[in-house]
Amino acid sequence: MGIHKFFGSLVYFLFGATIMLGIQDKEGFIGCSYRDVTLTEKDSNPITHFFDIPRVCRVGNFVGLQAALMCCFVAFLNRPKQ
């Protein structure tokens, strides 16, 4: 049973990583970058420019965050009982 849970969790996390890589790939094709913003220095706080990216990219970021949180919550629920 232990090896089954391990490989099941591994496949689940790889599935989540595939979702996030697919979103990243799609955003790369769309060209998700800042609109009408010229950065002259290092962007150390990118959340301030969040609304300067296209709407479809913001939706992609939200879906990627949901996928990451879902994987974390499932891992928390699948932890060994004491």
pLDDT tops 70 at residue 35: no
* Among the listed residues 33, 67, 71, 68, the one whose alpha carbon sits nearest the alpha carbon of residue 52: 33
Rounded to whole angstroms, how far apart are CA atoms 34 and 21? Answer: 20
pTM here? 0.72
Residue with the larger pLDDT of the pair 36 and 6:
6
- Residue 18 pLDDT: 94
pLDDT tops 90 at residue 66: yes
Rounded to whole angstroms, how far apart are CA atoms 35 and 53? Answer: 6
Residue positions counted in the chain = 82
Exposure on the CB side of residue 72, measured as CA atoms within 13 A: 6
